[in-house]
A and B are shown apart, each in its own frame.
Chain A
Amino acid sequence: MSIEVTNVTKKYGDFYALDDVSVSLPTGQLTALLGPSGGGKSTLLRIIAGLDTADSGTVAIEGTNATRLPPQKRNVGFVFQHYAVFKHMTVAKNVAFGLEIRKTPKAEVKRRVGELLELVHLSQFADRLPSQLSGGQRQRMALARALAVEPTVLLLDEPFGALDAKVRKELRDWLRRLHDEVHVTTVFVTHDQEEAMEVADEIVVINHGRVEQVGSPDQLYDEPASDFVMGFLGEVTRLGPVRLRPHDVEVATSPGRAGAIPGTVTRLLRVGFEVRLQVQLGDEFGTGAEPVSVVLSRSHARSLDLELGSKVWLTAAVGAVTVPAMIAV
């Protein structure tokens, strides 16, 4: 295991940012720490990097106990949400920083910086100042800077959080490809489940300072360990006694199936290739109960000939992931 976090607790006053967290992150993988804001995931990342210290517990990196090591001795690369670029240095100087600190010979620094700028597609910007770059370019520069010192682990704190949606998606794909090329153990923090599902080999879900579940994206999606994980990893709706994903609700226009629950379509919204429905169930399921959300493909919706006010019968699809609905609504 590349990173071993054992029984780490961190308190800010009375607030537990991390409450007895233990987690092992495997070598060479791309791991996401996923959870809502304020859940403790960034704190965990900063403790791994040595930028914060844990109140108790230990951190080991590649078998070395790093708990008491200052950040500069841990050989980790850290990429900050707001890039933390060195504003007074050119792009090339930024990338060269770690190498120069290590007294690397000049020719070697030049060669490495050239390679890294090539890797992050910033070669033509080498002599610019960071203020002349776009957000995405700055973040790529920050990444090259972190990779320059050949870290044992690369840690990214909400790396794409400050970028707009399109750039974020591009960088996300690019990070995945980069990782396949460079193979450095990488941990990134995100609150965006889609980002985590798309990029990571493994996801650690953190909430309220505790690890909720660890697993591959498929495992988390298909076998959520808790109501929270299920809810956080995708949309969830309630159908009678169970909670399930909106696309796992089967819609029929006649009461054919056993256990089908009747309702009326109260909203119908087309978004691209999918159709989203809100179905209000009959009075016997409690008036004022939240309507059921359903997602269908556009062609499916068309074949059912659905419109506002259509009477429909809902069932959970065969093999759907369900968890019992909590009593309180």
Chain B
Amino acid sequence: MVEVSTPVKWLLRVLAIGYVFLLVAWPVSTIVREAFADGLGTFVEIFSDEQAVNALTLTVQVAVQAVLINLVFGVGISLLLVRYEFPGKRVLSALVDLPMAVSPVVVGLSLLLVYNGRDGWFGEHLEKWGVQIIFSGTGMIMATCFVALPLVIREVVPVLTEIGDDQEQAARSLGANARQTFLRITLPSIKWAVVYGVVLSLARSLGEFGAVKIVSGNVANQTQTATLLVEKQYQSFDQAGAYAVSFILAFVSVLCIVVVSILRPKEHSK
């Protein structure tokens, strides 16, 4: 550690805290204040408003399905990236990071171009078979999967790299087949990374806006998620409602992070 003089130490602390306060804590706290401006009244209203309940339910449905899909593919791709050598590995690794860099709006647009029913590359054929992707739950789940894809992988890859494949080789030499090795050795070793990745993905998926807005069509009671509802409420001067739904979204995300930070230290103390 570098020794820093006391005034510098305090200056750095004030800077860091001030930055986070102005950028994160204060704005979020105003949401809380506004949401509770009428006490619990707004919330009673929200939960008795069919449109709001539908939007929240849809958000949860889309997020949970997207997280489950990302869990399976995330762990699979992580294993592929860490344990195997194959041509195009670096390309795959870079592609996995792409959703971090690309704006969700672009993601939505590109999905629209490929899967729309009128002139999309696959969309026309799929529509003939009776499968509709754009303006339906499927498209929204795909968009959400896309934006949350790196979260599980970026958590799991470093842990897989760190534990190495010694334990897996030992399990193989003791007679375990690939499935047994994965379930008994690999999975328990990366358990916490997976949990953390899942929670991050969940928080990210609940809050997804741009990509979902484009592929969903934003039809109230059908393809309108909570974030889309917030925007609509805000634009139609229902600010109280917008704040209340925002608060619910923020609360769930914060809850996710709190749960993880409570779980996380256990892994280190082991």
Query: In whole angstroms, how far apart are the Cα atoms of A77 and B53 in the complex?
Result: 59
What per-residue 1/0 map shows which CB atoms of A45-79 lie under 8 Å from chain B?
Answer: 00001110000000000000000001110111110
Query: In whole angstroms, how far apart are the Cα atoms of A75 and B167 in the complex?
Result: 17
Query: In whole angstroms, how far apart are the Cα atoms of A199 and B180 in the complex?
Result: 36
Which of B167, B177, B184 sits near A84, CB closer than 8 Å?
A: B167
- Is A111 part of the contact surface with B, judged by Cβ < 8 Å? no
- Is B173 part of the contact surface with A, judged by Cβ < 8 Å? yes
Query: In whole angstroms, how far apart are the Cα atoms of A309 and B212 in the complex?
Result: 90
Query: In whole angstroms, how far apart are the Cα atoms of A296 and B180 in the complex?
Result: 59
- Tell me whether A101 and B180 are in contact in the complex, defined as CB-CB below 8 angstroms, given that A72-B175, A146-B174, A149-B175 are known contacts: yes
Question: Given the complex, which residues of B lie within 8 Å of A71, measured CB to CB?
Answer: 169, 172-173
Closest to B185 in A: A86
B171 and A97 within 8 A (CB): yes
Question: Given the complex, which residues of B lie within 8 Å of A88, measured CB to CB?
Answer: 188-189
B173 and A131 within 8 A (CB): no
- Tell me whether A87 and B173 are in contact in the complex, defined as CB-CB below 8 angstroms, given that A101-B180, A131-B270 are known contacts: no
Question: Given the complex, which residues of A lie within 8 Å of B189, measured CB to CB?
Answer: 87-88
- Is B166 part of the contact surface with A, judged by Cβ < 8 Å? yes
Question: Given the complex, which residues of B lie within 8 Å of A149, measured CB to CB?
Answer: 174-175
Report, as a range, how many residues of chain A touch the other chain: 20 to 34
Query: In whole angstroms, how far apart are the Cα atoms of A80 and B171 in the complex?
Result: 12
What per-residue 1/0 map shows which CB atoms of B158-194 lie under 8 Å from chain A?
Answer: 0000010011011111111100100011001100000
Instruction: State the B residues within 8 Å of A (CB).
Output: 163, 166-167, 169-177, 180, 184-185, 188-189, 270
Q: List 23 A-B pairs, Cβ < 8 Å.
A: A51-B172, A51-B173, A70-B172, A71-B173, A72-B175, A75-B175, A77-B173, A77-B174, A78-B170, A80-B169, A84-B167, A84-B169, A85-B167, A86-B167, A86-B170, A86-B171, A87-B189, A97-B174, A97-B176, A97-B184, A98-B175, A101-B174, A148-B174
Instruction: State the A residues within 8 Å of B (CB).
Output: 49-51, 70-72, 74-78, 80, 82, 84-88, 97-98, 101-102, 129, 131, 142, 145-146, 148-149
